[in-house]
């Protein structure tokens, strides 16, 4: 089975959600909003612990839930990426790291659009489509 990304999110500098998308239609989307929001404390904790220690933006697994594992990634500009995945139990750290790097590039390309206002919700159809392709190929 490997891994299956069930939710992907982009969180702004002020911990405001810029984008949250659920890819699992069997669960209530509000559940994933709660999981992502709960992960923000762990992201802040890990970010301050890593300050100056490493240039790696990947935060690793933030915490496991009963059915899912939550992973985080933060940028130098304090934008946070959080994904919720369903795993088969094996370690898939490298695949998740690669997913985050592609997710970061996709985000950077989206905000480079001159019509995008910083810290606004991401409503780009192209962003949605490209992220969906990435989720399917993890």
CA distance 106 to 127: 7
The DSSP secondary-structure symbol of 15 reads S
Determine the pLDDT at residue 73: 96
Burial class (CB in 10 A: 0-12, 13-18, 19+), 46: middle
* 98 three-class SS: helix
Give the tens place of pLDDT for each residue, 99-136: 999 999 999 999 999 999 989 999 999 999 999 999 99
- Under 8 Å between Cβ of 108 and 18: no
Sign of the CA dihedral running 109, 112, 113, 116:
positive
**pLDDT higher at 76 or 11:** 11
Tokens of 8: 């992907």
Question: In 10 A of CB 72, how many CB atoms?
Answer: 25
**Whether pLDDT at 54 is above 70:** no
CA distance 129 to 63: 28
Give the tens place of pLDDT for each residue, 55-84: 678 999 999 998 899 999 999 899 999 999
């Amino acid at each position: 089975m490997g891994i299956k990304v069930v939710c992907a999110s982009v969180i702004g500098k002020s911990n405001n959600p810029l984008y949250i998308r659920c890819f699992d239609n069997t669960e209530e989307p509000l559940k994933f909003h709660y999981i992502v929001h709960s992960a923000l404390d762990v992201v802040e904790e890990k970010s301050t612990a890593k300050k100056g220690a490493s240039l790696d933006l990947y935060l690793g697994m933030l915490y496991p839930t009963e059915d899912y594992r939550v992973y985080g990634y933060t940028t130098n500009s304090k934008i946070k990426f959080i994904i919720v995945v369903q795993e088969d139990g094996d370690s898939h750290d490298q695949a998740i790291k690669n997913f985050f790097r592609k997710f970061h590039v996709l985000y950077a390309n989206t905000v480079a659009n001159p019509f995008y206002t910083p810290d606004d919700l991401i409503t780009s159809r192209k962003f949605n489509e490209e992220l969906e392709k990435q989720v399917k190929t993890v």
